[in-house]
Amino acid sequence: MDPQNTEAKVLLSRAKTFRLHTGNLVNRSRLKKKCPGSTSEELRDCIQATMSDWVSMKKAASPGFPDVLDCSLPEATETITPEEREELKVSVKLFLCEAGQSAIGDAVDLACQTLAVSQLDSVIIAPPPPLEADQSLAHLQPAWEQLEALVRSQKIAAIGTSDLDKDLLEQLYNWAQVKPSSNQVNLASCCVMPPDLTAFAKDFDIQLLTHSDPKELMSAESFLEAMREGARDQSLSGWRLEWVLRYSVIVKSRGIFKSKGYLVSAKRVDP
């Protein structure tokens, strides 16, 4: 058996938290050649390819087994220098995969650490959908309060929402201490921006953006399948996807991507 694969298998079996960084997808030739049909397909390909490369990589020697396992490729990671920071906009969308178990602070800290910045320019939150057809903010409020705290501590400059209709966006605006700066609308379910939403956003200076992300970014089974294929271990199990953070770094003056990628966090499921 490949000794690198054996080492990865042991590390995965002992860790309690799994963190994966795809590196800069703009420069990863293996992934640039693919044209995924959806965000979910892209994420699956990224997890599989990154794990596969990580398994083949010689790991740095460390005493014992880490509780938090870092699955990343140093050569694929690009940081932002202080000299170029003012010329760049760092935007993030954070997909929370479980209700009531938000790790927003951890995700934002990891993004800042990975990109070597002290502040993210914007963060859009995508909480898991409510279990029932709940027309209230109850499922969003705990996450929004954490985002507000990160704005106050200057970790984030602006915060936004995803898939709120006019009524919910108005409820959020009236309730929130830090007002939403943007709201993403999925054009798969809405070919034209609703007039009432457009009018409200214009009156209160909220930017309306479009996206094509699915309601469920990745199912539990799809995540495990991607891990198994990447680790070349079909017996791998016991991991639960916690959150996915997608970042993009854009050159302001030219409107082009300097880098983009995913950060993924999973927790060990107690047997």
User: Per-domain residue ranges for the chain?
Assistant: 4-268
From residue 38, alpha-carbon distances to 35, 74, 208, 215, 218 in Å are 9, 27, 21, 12, 11
Whether the Cβ atoms of residue 68 and residue 17 lie closer than 8 Å to each other: yes
Q: What region, left, alpha or beta, does residue 154 occupy, with left being phi > 0 and alpha being psi -120 to 50 degrees? A: left
H/E segment holding residue 133: none
State if pTM tops 0.85.
yes
Backbone angles phi, psi at 237, to 5 degrees: -160, 180
The tens place of each residue's pLDDT in the chain, 271 residues long, gives 455 567 888 888 889 999 999 999 988 765 555 666 788 999 999 999 999 999 888 665 566 678 999 999 888 889 999 999 999 999 999 999 876 556 899 999 999 999 999 999 999 999 887 666 666 788 899 999 999 999 999 999 999 999 999 999 999 999 999 999 999 998 776 668 889 999 999 999 999 999 999 888 999 899 999 999 999 888 888 999 999 999 999 999 999 999 999 999 999 986 5
